[in-house]
Amino acid sequence: MLVDIDSQSGFCGGVIRAIGRAEDFLGKRDHLYSLGAIVHNEAELDRLGAKGLRPVDSLDAVTEGESVLIRAHGEPPQTYAEARRRGVTVIDCTCPVVLRLQRHIREAYARLHADGRHGTLIIFGKVGHAEVLGLLGQVGGDAKVVENRQMLDDVLSSIDLSEPVEIFSQTTKSPSEYAAVCAAVARRIGGGLTVHDTICSQVANRHERLAAFARSHDVILFVSGRASSNGKVLCDLCRSANPRTYHIGNAAELDPAWFRPDDHVGICGATSTPKWLLEEVAAAVRDL
């Protein structure tokens, strides 16, 4: 079998930055807390855990004088205030793309509520996702989050469509799905809509190229953590282009029955998948 690794798969810039800062810190200290998983990949979390990275669900687990890393997804303003109150040092690794989106969300909210207006802010994203929670925190939770058309229809039925609407996307969502949602809003409300292009360009540019990669191989192995939102989007994209797409977390999940001797196998992953894991899977396939 021939085996190729997609050259553009692997960590995005925001994740590379966060992991690099964590490793720098752990080169001098024996442990560092991270608020939530620094990356949605179990194998990489195990590697960093061996170096002393300790994910926690809340600042309740971090004592005064300790340090906590804010991952690339970002956090609401309340998190920073709570860290100051507790005497906890923040290592802020929020992705610059997410920081810019947070600022634009705040600015849009101010516009929508200026001069007595009561407009609506819509966020296309995964309910409960860390990035989305951080975005909601910028406006005190006063925004509508939609994951799909059904949720969108419910939102549009509950708001005053004569007031302005501004819509943003979580940075890692599918560009085609976002375009469809925006088109549906535009059909309902006409000229009172402002659409913001907030999907990360590194993510958006991958979609067309990754679909071509999937079509050009007999079998696709998509490697990512099960909790990765970006991984689910990109794996579904690969499967739509190539039905022989298999989602795995590591080489141990490979099944020899998936392959034929003359297959050309493509290996790719999410923005949260480390290169070393893709290479490990490739080596395992070659050894089958």
In which residue are the tokens 């099944």 written?
Answer: 255
Ramachandran category for residue 139: left, alpha or beta (phi over 0 → left; psi -120 to 50 → alpha): alpha
44, 66, 131, 166: which is the annotated catalytic residue? 131
Q: Burial letters for 58-86: b for 16+ Cβ neighbours within 10 Å, e otherwise?
A: ebeebeeebbbbbbbbbbbeebeebbeee
For Cα atoms 106, 108, 162, give the angle at the middle one, nearest 5 degrees: 140
CA distance readout (Å), 261 to 132, 148, 185, 190, 245: 44, 40, 49, 55, 17
- Determine which helix (DSSP H) or strand (DSSP E) holds 239, and give its type and residue range: helix 229-241
3-state secondary structure (DSSP) of residue 261: coil
Contact 55, 36 (CB under 8 A): yes
For the chain, the straight-line distance linking the first and the last C-alpha, in angstroms and rounded, comes to 9
- Determine which helix (DSSP H) or strand (DSSP E) holds 105, and give its type and residue range: helix 96-112
Our answer to whether residue 131 is catalytic in this structure is yes
Instruction: Return the active site residues.
Output: 131
